Amino acid sequence: GAVVSQHPSWVICKSGTSVKIECRSLDFQATTMFWYRQFPKQSLMLMATSNEGSKATYEQGVEKDKFLINHASLTLSTLTVTSAHPEDSSFYICSARGSRTGSYEQYFGPGTRLTVT
């Protein structure tokens, strides 16, 4: 149980375009979802926290107008990278937490590799 999926698993887009990444909790209701960014051989850096039905809370240094997060339902959160640039190329990982998963346990998606050309 407690499975989180991401779609797409990888995406290539041209500079200046926008790309949307979906994060779904498949068998539980995710009251909170988290978006991370991971550079090669580096740790996960939290970008933002989103609670269902409310605005996302962004970490310092993360541009909220560039990385749009929507958490409209208890099973879906989306991250839209707007006007993508090559420096946005990275591995984006979401995680989800809900009442069923316990107070602090987060379940992670498989990640989405974004390449901006």
Partner 1 sequence: AQRVTQPEKLLSVFKGAPVELKCNYSYSGSPELFWYVQYSRQRLQLLLRHISRESIKGFTADLNKGETSFHLKKPFAQEEDSAMYYCALSGRGYNKLIFGAGTRLAVHP
- Using CB under 8 A, pick the residue from 106, 112, 114, 116 that binds partner 1: 106
State the pairing for strand pair 4-7/67-73.
unpaired
31 counts as binding partner 1 under rule CB under 8 A: no
Concatenating the DSSP letter of every residue in 28-45 gives S--SEEEEEEE-TTS-EE
Q: Looking at 15, 17, 18, 42, which residue binds partner 1 (CB under 8 A)?
A: 42
Segment interacting with partner 1, rule: CB under 8 A, options 17-25, 68-76, 80-88, 102-110? 102-110
Do 81 and 67 touch, CB atoms closer than 8 A?
yes
Counting residues that bind partner 1 (by CB under 8 A) gives 19
Question: Using the rule CB under 8 A, is 49 a contact of partner 1?
Answer: yes
* End-to-end Cα separation, the chain, in angstroms: 37
Residue 18 beta carbon to partner 1: minimum distance, rounded to whole angstroms: 25
Kindly list the distances between the CA atom of residue 84 and the CA atoms of 30, 52, 58, in Å, as whole numbers in the listed order: 28, 26, 18
Decide: is 104 part of the binding site for partner 1 (CB under 8 A). Answer: yes
User: Which member of 34, 58, 67, 92 binds partner 1 (CB under 8 A)?
Assistant: 34
